[in-house]
Chains A and B, each alone.
Chain A
Amino acid sequence: MSETRADFVIIGSTPLARLVAGLLASVHGKSVVFSGESQSGYRLPRAIDLSVAPITRPETWGLLKAGLPEALKLLSRIGGRGAWSRVDPIFFSEAAAGKEALAHIRHMALAFGHAAELVPASAIGPGRSGLLLRDAVLLHRPTLEAGLDRWLDQHGVRRCGESETLTVRSSGSAELVSGADRIEIEQAVLADDAAVIDHVPGPLWPALLTRHVTSTIFTEPTRPIAATVMHRLDTGLTLVQQPGRGIAAIGPGAIDPFAAALGTLLGREREFRQAGQSSYEALVTVDAAPAVGRLRGSGPDILAGLGPSGAFLAPAIARWLCGKADPAENAWLGARLVDRRAAPSAVAEYGCAA
């Protein structure tokens, strides 16, 4: 049996997971193992990657604004022109609390130099408030994923095979066994919801994280919606209309009730047929803010609750994992540790359960 060592194993299938793995290897010179499926080309999405989000905290806007040019340069180099596009997403709400948050998000976006416009009710339906943010960046996962996988290979990131066994220990270290070979890995990073659910045992489960049944429904082509990307603050439902006019809807609930809610939202003029659907568990933090860092201070690193903008924070997260983050990054990530107290929360976002 041969035995080798690695610095990190990154577990997850999202662009964030791949970017963190690749950055640790390419920029920070770490030896990295990556465990995640390449499935964006044929599986339904469970999340989207958008450079803006319904964020109320100024430090988060600041971190995203500072990191976006670096992230875009990297994404363009890795995925080419088709890996991302500019969109004008609409965030909307029907609830008074959501409308209040939306009003603040508008001012926050404007303060950070983001073009933000109120959306008339005629575009999104009566009783709703909407906010359109111009020139956001939407990642195209199927295209980007292929580029990211090539990039990981170029930088010597070792990919876990199906026949290999990866074990994450509560100490944060991990072991990969491949036939007669064994790799001892110093630190595991659980970089998406499925990875956290799969690898964090019940007794160690952080109080901050809750598991929610979530569904994705993909519709056959239907009439255009008000914007390519729409997000409903009240429920967390996200709509993405594809070039072929099919809509990918991601939101809470099991498939049938979610489909019924989607039908109500889209209305009679946009009756739809389902072209695909899946139901799974997603993680939500109690205070609706990101949760990062080592479980119980010394366990595996968690990356959860980062919302749609997580991929754009990958360079900062990679630096932080290597101890090379700048003070703003350190402060932001340090305030969002997975073991923090959720009530009261100093970093709560809209949607917090408190």
Chain B
Amino acid sequence: MRSQPGRLGIERQHHLQGSAIDRDRPLQFRLDGRIVSGFAGDTVLSAALASGIDAAGRRDGVALALSARHAPAITFAALAGDHQRALPMERTLATNGADYLTTAQKVGGNLVARLLRRGGRSLDIDLDRSDALARPWLGTPAAAGPEADLVVVGGGVAGLSAALAGARRGLRVVLAEATPLLGGKARLFGTQDGEETPDAAIARLTAAVAKTDAITVLTSAEAFALRPGVVRLHQVEMPDGTPTGRVIDIHAPHIVLATGALERLPLFPGNRLPGVIGALDAFELAQLYGLWPGSSALVATGSSPAYRLAMLLTDAGITVPRIIDSRPHPQSRFIEFSKAYGITLAAGTIVASATPARRGNGVVAMPKLSMEGFSRTEPALPVDRLVVCGGWQPDLTLWHMAGGESAWNAGGMRLEGRGGPEGTVLAGSAAGWVSRSACLASGGDAVDVLLGRHRRLVEDRLIDPIYETPDAPASVGDEPDEAAQPVFLDGGWRHIQRPRRVVSRWPAWLPFAPKPPGWSLADTPQPLDIADIAAGVQLGAIPATSAGIVAQERVAMVVIESDQPDETAHPAGPLPLPPPWLAARYAGATLWLAVPDDARTLDAGALIHTNADETDPLKAIGVIVRIVNGTAVALVDGSAGQSASVREPGRAVGIRLVEPYRA
């Protein structure tokens, strides 16, 4: 496994061996010229991560982690330059012998610097460029997709349940899942008493979907635009075993959005360094692809499922020196199990900041006890990996694109969907449901809502807060100063940062003292992802009452051709003479043909004065309205043979009114 240092070993029994990969079928491909090793079932991204590439590139000189939400597009080397055929690393299955290039611009530097970087841990993308991680297919014209009565976006348990419910109601269903596999995120959250396991539930639902002819499943198909009645998505297909992208529009009167929830990023300096990863991302990469670089991990969370990941890691031989929890008195069944594993727990503690380790690829976390008004910095913790969890935000991105509304829930510290457009409904954790049973039920309920049927009861079976402490909001660490690592509001490719504190040796009241920079998200020339909005509310940049409308305004919308009339079209027709904006300008004025005293063409629009000495525009007596067949038409109160003066730039031109103008 030397070629895949990020892959977990399988010498011992554990649950993170990689359910999606076949370790008996190794493969190799090239990425930007370097050899990447993986297994059948890997995506290009998971193979790159397994091969030790864990940084996407640099922004403001700081390396940022490579992840499913922060990866460049790739293209076959033979198609370099044809960005319309670019593919997403995270949705493209790795194939043996392929030769890929990333489409983004690389970090510059001299030859020596470039040679030194070669073969390192980074893809060396220049993340200072605004289009560094842009998705070229967003502007690709769409082909017609399969016909459908119902489109379900999201292939987790809620989406699977909705697709089956739709098929049972006689609808032709298209189920679109962004990742290569159905099943969603339910596995991290474990099982409550009396429930089937997540694996069993997913297997049961996917088998039922596979057996239902009325359901067309599109995997590796990411919906990126939505309007009522139409979903636009980009899918990576594998015709003849070669990954190929296509953009399609699926028109359907009914749409269920089961897009799940995004994991919030705690807000501390260094929160996107290579080696820092969200608990859900980390779990998925480990569970599906057996990925885990390094041998130690610090877990920092405000949500109980991260404890489950810590235990699975311990089973897999990873050392978890501590779990730090921002909640002052957390209670959970997972916590009790973790204690039994012998993992040290630190309640009321957050990560104040993180920095790259001086040696190796790890990070150094600075924990801070922060509880009930008391704050104390704890000793630094060097680890190979820092796993963070800042709670969950329903993914309402497509909902907002469709015109759906949302509102801030102060209790849950998250945006939740409210009224939506006709024919589009939310289901599962996108609709705010927490438990798996509720997510399952909400899928069927969403279809009933769309069809106007009697609704079924959906209930979140939550454990009493005495035994299962609710999630804390994403923790907020140190405010970054000019020397600190940047603080990003979210882990996606928008790179919205918390402003840095300006340290000044001058008192603020002095006129030349540097003023704190204003933080205007209105001027930020990137869309704001929904987790950016949630962080903006937490940091006070967006009032909670406006969070929903801001999220709707700043979603990354893509134009879908519409039948709506183009109100920008300007009616054509004969020009009125005089134009309406000259109405009543000059009392008694009529249209006259005017000729200059010199042989020249008069300037249309110029003001006419009684004589050359008069320059006050408020005392003008008329205007040259138009030049018709080489002769000036003036709007002026005058008489045949009358002389006047036209004021042109820098001089006055004498004119004479010849005769009334007749069209």
Q: B-contacting residues of A (Cβ < 8 Å)? A: 37, 39-45, 56-59, 61-62, 82, 94-97, 100-108, 110-112, 141-143, 146, 162, 212-213, 218-221, 234-235, 237, 242-246, 251-261, 263, 271, 273-278, 287-288, 344-350, 352, 354
Contacts and interface: CB of A to CB of B under 8 A. Distances in A.
B217 interface: no
Contacts of A218: 525, 554
Given A143-B518, A234-B570, A344 B583 contact: yes
Q: What 4 pairs between A and B have smallest CB-CB spacing? A: A246-B525, A103-B605, A104-B605, A346-B584
B610 to A, nearest CB: 15
Given A259-B559, A275-B556, A278-B553, A41 B519 contact: yes
A42 B605 contact: no
A174 to B, nearest CB: 22
Contacts of B560: 256
A71 B593 CA distance: 42
A345 B580 contact: yes
A256 B559 contact: yes
Contacts of A213: 567
B546 interface: yes
Given A100-B604, A107-B607, A41 B583 contact: no
Nearest to B618: A58
Given A43-B546, A261-B568, 8 more contacts: A42-B546, A44-B554, A142-B518, A220-B527, A242-B523, A273-B138, A275-B524, A347-B584
Interface string B555-575: 111111110111110101001
Q: What secondary structure prevails in chain B residues at the interface with A?
A: loop
B138 A257 contact: no
Given A104-B605, A220-B526, A246-B525, A212 B617 contact: no
A256 B562 contact: yes
A263 B561 CA distance: 12
Given A61-B617, A273-B134, A352-B581, A43 B525 contact: no
A94 B570 CA distance: 10
Interface in B122-140: 130-131, 134, 138-139
Interface in B415-457: none
A82 B514 CA distance: 13
B573 to A, nearest CB: 9
Contacts of A58: 617-618, 620
A271 B625 CA distance: 38
Contacts of A40: 520, 522
A96 B576 CA distance: 11
B567 A253 contact: yes
Contacts of B615: 111
27 contacts: A39-B546, A42-B541, A42-B546, A43-B522, A56-B582, A94-B570, A102-B605, A103-B605, A104-B623, A107-B603, A107-B607, A111-B617, A141-B522, A218-B525, A221-B130, A244-B523, A256-B227, A256-B561, A259-B559, A261-B566, A275-B527, A276-B527, A277-B557, A288-B581, A348-B581, A348-B583, A354-B580
Interface in B493-530: 518-528
B290 interface: no
B581 A260 contact: no
Contacts of B581: 56-57, 101, 104, 288, 348-350, 352
Contacts of A142: 518, 520, 522-523
Interface string B595-607: 0000000011111
B570 A95 contact: yes
B580 A43 contact: no
Given A41-B518, A105-B605, A100 B525 contact: no
Contact of A274 (B130, B227, B556, B585): B556
B234 interface: no
Contact of B605 (A106, A234, A244): A106
Contacts of B558: 273-274
